[in-house]
Structure 1
Amino acid sequence: MELSEMQALARRVRSKYAAMETARYGREWTDEEIMLGFLGDVGDLAKLVQGKAGVRPRDDLDEALAHELADCLWCVFTLADSYGVDLEAAFTSTMAELDGILAAEDTTT
Protein backbone atom coordinates (compact mmCIF):
# COMPACT_ATOMS: atom_id res chain seq x y z
CA MET A 1 0.00 0.00 0.00
CA GLU A 2 1.33 3.42 -0.93
CA LEU A 3 1.64 6.19 1.65
CA SER A 4 -1.16 8.17 -0.01
CA GLU A 5 -3.45 5.13 0.23
CA MET A 6 -2.55 4.69 3.89
CA GLN A 7 -3.34 8.37 4.50
CA ALA A 8 -6.70 8.02 2.74
CA LEU A 9 -7.55 4.93 4.80
CA ALA A 10 -6.58 6.71 8.02
CA ARG A 11 -8.78 9.63 6.97
CA ARG A 12 -11.76 7.30 6.38
CA VAL A 13 -11.30 5.64 9.77
CA ARG A 14 -11.01 9.07 11.42
CA SER A 15 -14.27 10.10 9.77
CA LYS A 16 -16.00 7.04 11.22
CA TYR A 17 -14.58 7.76 14.66
CA ALA A 18 -15.79 11.38 14.35
CA ALA A 19 -19.32 10.15 13.63
CA MET A 20 -19.18 7.80 16.62
CA GLU A 21 -17.81 10.56 18.88
CA THR A 22 -20.56 12.93 17.78
CA ALA A 23 -23.22 10.32 18.50
CA ARG A 24 -21.69 9.45 21.88
CA TYR A 25 -20.41 12.81 23.16
CA GLY A 26 -22.18 15.38 21.01
CA ARG A 27 -18.94 16.44 19.34
CA GLU A 28 -15.80 15.15 17.66
CA TRP A 29 -12.56 14.78 19.56
CA THR A 30 -10.27 17.79 19.32
CA ASP A 31 -6.72 17.57 18.01
CA GLU A 32 -5.56 17.83 21.61
CA GLU A 33 -7.69 14.83 22.60
CA ILE A 34 -6.35 12.83 19.68
CA MET A 35 -2.84 13.75 20.81
CA LEU A 36 -3.63 12.57 24.34
CA GLY A 37 -4.87 9.29 22.88
CA PHE A 38 -1.61 9.06 20.93
CA LEU A 39 0.34 9.51 24.15
CA GLY A 40 -1.60 6.61 25.65
CA ASP A 41 -0.80 4.51 22.58
CA VAL A 42 2.88 5.39 22.88
CA GLY A 43 2.78 4.30 26.53
CA ASP A 44 1.22 1.00 25.47
CA LEU A 45 3.91 0.67 22.80
CA ALA A 46 6.62 1.26 25.40
CA LYS A 47 5.26 -1.62 27.48
CA LEU A 48 5.30 -3.89 24.44
CA VAL A 49 8.88 -2.91 23.63
CA GLN A 50 9.71 -3.90 27.19
CA GLY A 51 8.01 -7.20 26.45
CA LYS A 52 10.26 -7.72 23.44
CA ALA A 53 13.23 -7.09 25.76
CA GLY A 54 12.02 -9.83 28.12
CA VAL A 55 10.22 -7.57 30.58
CA ARG A 56 6.39 -7.63 30.69
CA PRO A 57 6.01 -10.81 28.61
CA ARG A 58 2.65 -11.78 27.15
CA ASP A 59 1.40 -14.51 24.85
CA ASP A 60 0.33 -12.27 21.96
CA LEU A 61 3.35 -9.95 22.06
CA ASP A 62 4.13 -9.84 18.34
CA GLU A 63 0.51 -9.25 17.35
CA ALA A 64 0.04 -6.63 20.06
CA LEU A 65 3.24 -4.83 19.03
CA ALA A 66 2.15 -4.73 15.38
CA HIS A 67 -1.30 -3.46 16.41
CA GLU A 68 0.13 -0.71 18.63
CA LEU A 69 2.60 0.43 15.99
CA ALA A 70 -0.31 0.69 13.55
CA ASP A 71 -2.36 2.64 16.12
CA CYS A 72 0.53 5.08 16.57
CA LEU A 73 0.93 5.46 12.81
CA TRP A 74 -2.79 6.17 12.50
CA CYS A 75 -2.45 8.94 15.08
CA VAL A 76 0.49 10.44 13.19
CA PHE A 77 -1.49 10.35 9.93
CA THR A 78 -4.53 11.88 11.66
CA LEU A 79 -2.57 14.70 13.30
CA ALA A 80 -0.65 15.42 10.09
CA ASP A 81 -3.93 15.59 8.20
CA SER A 82 -5.44 17.88 10.79
CA TYR A 83 -2.52 20.30 10.62
CA GLY A 84 -2.06 20.14 6.85
CA VAL A 85 1.34 18.44 6.96
CA ASP A 86 2.41 16.55 3.85
CA LEU A 87 3.99 13.58 5.60
CA GLU A 88 5.70 12.23 2.51
CA ALA A 89 7.39 15.54 1.79
CA ALA A 90 8.22 16.16 5.46
CA PHE A 91 9.65 12.66 5.91
CA THR A 92 11.71 12.89 2.74
CA SER A 93 13.18 16.29 3.60
CA THR A 94 13.81 15.36 7.24
CA MET A 95 15.60 12.12 6.30
CA ALA A 96 17.69 13.98 3.71
CA GLU A 97 18.64 16.54 6.35
CA LEU A 98 19.54 13.86 8.90
CA ASP A 99 21.45 11.89 6.28
CA GLY A 100 23.46 15.00 5.47
CA ILE A 101 24.23 15.64 9.13
CA LEU A 102 25.29 12.03 9.63
CA ALA A 103 27.39 12.06 6.48
CA ALA A 104 29.20 15.15 7.75
CA GLU A 105 29.87 13.35 11.05
CA ASP A 106 31.11 10.18 9.36
CA THR A 107 34.83 9.91 9.95
CA THR A 108 35.18 6.41 8.48
CA THR A 109 35.32 7.59 4.87
Structure 2
Amino acid sequence: MDLSEITRRAVRVHGLYDDLNLAKHGRTWARHDFVLGFVGDVGDLAKLTQAADGVRPAPPGGRDLGHELADCLWSVVVIAALYDVDLEAAFTTTMRQLEKSITTDLERGAAR
Protein backbone atom coordinates (compact mmCIF):
# COMPACT_ATOMS: atom_id res chain seq x y z
CA MET A 1 0.00 0.00 0.00
CA ASP A 2 1.46 3.37 -0.96
CA LEU A 3 1.03 6.68 0.86
CA SER A 4 -1.86 7.84 -1.34
CA GLU A 5 -3.82 4.66 -0.53
CA ILE A 6 -2.94 4.98 3.16
CA THR A 7 -4.18 8.58 3.03
CA ARG A 8 -7.46 7.59 1.33
CA ARG A 9 -8.14 4.90 3.93
CA ALA A 10 -7.16 7.15 6.83
CA VAL A 11 -9.46 9.93 5.59
CA ARG A 12 -12.29 7.41 5.10
CA VAL A 13 -11.89 6.21 8.70
CA HIS A 14 -11.77 9.86 9.79
CA GLY A 15 -15.17 10.29 8.12
CA LEU A 16 -16.51 7.27 10.01
CA TYR A 17 -15.27 8.76 13.27
CA ASP A 18 -17.03 12.01 12.36
CA ASP A 19 -20.28 10.08 11.86
CA LEU A 20 -19.80 8.21 15.15
CA ASN A 21 -18.91 11.32 17.16
CA LEU A 22 -21.83 13.23 15.69
CA ALA A 23 -24.22 10.40 16.58
CA LYS A 24 -22.83 9.88 20.09
CA HIS A 25 -21.81 13.40 21.11
CA GLY A 26 -23.57 15.75 18.73
CA ARG A 27 -20.31 17.11 17.34
CA THR A 28 -17.31 16.10 15.33
CA TRP A 29 -13.70 16.53 16.34
CA ALA A 30 -11.95 19.77 15.44
CA ARG A 31 -8.46 19.61 13.96
CA HIS A 32 -6.86 20.29 17.33
CA ASP A 33 -8.79 17.35 18.81
CA PHE A 34 -6.96 15.04 16.40
CA VAL A 35 -3.64 16.51 17.51
CA LEU A 36 -4.58 15.84 21.14
CA GLY A 37 -5.60 12.29 20.18
CA PHE A 38 -2.21 11.85 18.53
CA VAL A 39 -0.48 12.97 21.72
CA GLY A 40 -2.41 10.27 23.58
CA ASP A 41 -1.41 7.67 20.97
CA VAL A 42 2.25 8.68 21.33
CA GLY A 43 1.94 8.26 25.10
CA ASP A 44 0.49 4.78 24.60
CA LEU A 45 3.32 3.99 22.19
CA ALA A 46 5.87 5.12 24.75
CA LYS A 47 4.34 2.83 27.39
CA LEU A 48 4.39 -0.14 25.01
CA THR A 49 8.02 0.43 24.02
CA GLN A 50 8.97 0.66 27.69
CA ALA A 51 7.13 -2.59 28.33
CA ALA A 52 8.86 -4.22 25.35
CA ASP A 53 12.23 -3.14 26.78
CA GLY A 54 11.36 -4.43 30.27
CA VAL A 55 11.29 -0.97 31.87
CA ARG A 56 7.67 -1.17 32.95
CA PRO A 57 4.84 -3.71 32.95
CA ALA A 58 2.67 -3.99 29.85
CA PRO A 59 -0.28 -1.61 30.02
CA PRO A 60 -3.73 -3.17 30.31
CA GLY A 61 -5.88 -3.37 27.22
CA GLY A 62 -3.96 -5.83 25.10
CA ARG A 63 -2.84 -3.40 22.41
CA ASP A 64 0.42 -4.26 20.76
CA LEU A 65 3.21 -2.15 19.36
CA GLY A 66 2.04 -2.60 15.77
CA HIS A 67 -1.44 -1.37 16.65
CA GLU A 68 -0.10 1.76 18.36
CA LEU A 69 2.29 2.49 15.52
CA ALA A 70 -0.63 2.20 13.10
CA ASP A 71 -2.70 4.53 15.31
CA CYS A 72 0.14 7.07 15.27
CA LEU A 73 0.53 6.79 11.50
CA TRP A 74 -3.22 7.25 11.06
CA SER A 75 -3.13 10.36 13.22
CA VAL A 76 -0.21 11.88 11.32
CA VAL A 77 -1.85 11.19 7.96
CA VAL A 78 -5.21 12.62 9.05
CA ILE A 79 -3.61 15.70 10.63
CA ALA A 80 -1.67 16.32 7.42
CA ALA A 81 -4.89 16.05 5.41
CA LEU A 82 -6.78 18.35 7.78
CA TYR A 83 -4.07 21.02 7.50
CA ASP A 84 -3.60 20.54 3.73
CA VAL A 85 -0.01 19.36 4.08
CA ASP A 86 1.34 17.27 1.20
CA LEU A 87 2.91 14.69 3.47
CA GLU A 88 4.78 12.89 0.70
CA ALA A 89 6.38 16.12 -0.53
CA ALA A 90 7.14 17.29 3.02
CA PHE A 91 8.70 13.93 3.88
CA THR A 92 10.81 13.89 0.74
CA THR A 93 12.06 17.44 1.31
CA THR A 94 12.74 16.85 5.01
CA MET A 95 14.65 13.61 4.37
CA ARG A 96 16.74 15.32 1.68
CA GLN A 97 17.58 18.15 4.09
CA LEU A 98 18.43 15.72 6.90
CA GLU A 99 20.61 13.56 4.65
CA LYS A 100 22.52 16.64 3.51
CA SER A 101 22.92 17.99 7.04
CA ILE A 102 24.01 14.64 8.51
CA THR A 103 26.40 13.95 5.63
CA THR A 104 27.94 17.40 6.05
CA ASP A 105 28.35 16.85 9.80
CA LEU A 106 29.93 13.44 9.21
CA GLU A 107 32.34 14.87 6.65
CA ARG A 108 33.31 17.66 9.05
CA GLY A 109 33.82 15.15 11.85
CA ALA A 110 35.89 12.85 9.66
CA ALA A 111 38.10 15.78 8.61
CA ARG A 112 39.13 16.54 12.21
1:2-81 → structure 2 map (5 Å cutoff): 2-58=2-58, 64-81=64-81
For structure 1, list consecutive stretches of 5 or more residues without a partner in the other structure.
none
> Could you tell me how far 1:17 is from its partner in structure 2?
0.4
Deviation at 1:93, TM superposition (A): 0.3
With structure 2 as the length reference, what TM-score do the two structures score? 0.88
1:50 Cα offset (Å): 0.4
Whole-angstrom distance in 1 between the partners of 2:25 and 2:52: 37
What runs of 5+ residues in structure 2 fail to find an aligned partner? Answer: none
**CA-to-aligned-CA distance 1:46-87 (integer Å, 9 cap, x gap):** 0011012112244xxxx6100000000000011000000011
Aligned-pair CA distance for 1:105 = 0.6
SS for the counterpart of 2:64 is: helix
Q: How does 1:93-104 map to 2 (within 5 A)?
A: 93-104=93-104
SS of equivalent to 1:74: helix
Taking structure 1 as the reference length, what is the TM-score of the superposition? 0.91
Distance between the aligned counterparts of 2:52 and 2:64, measured in 1? 11
Q: Indicate the RMSD between aligned Cα atoms, in angstroms.
A: 1.8
Number of aligned residues: 107
Q: Distance in 1 between matches of 2:48 and 2:78?
A: 23
Percent identity, aligned pairs only, is: 50
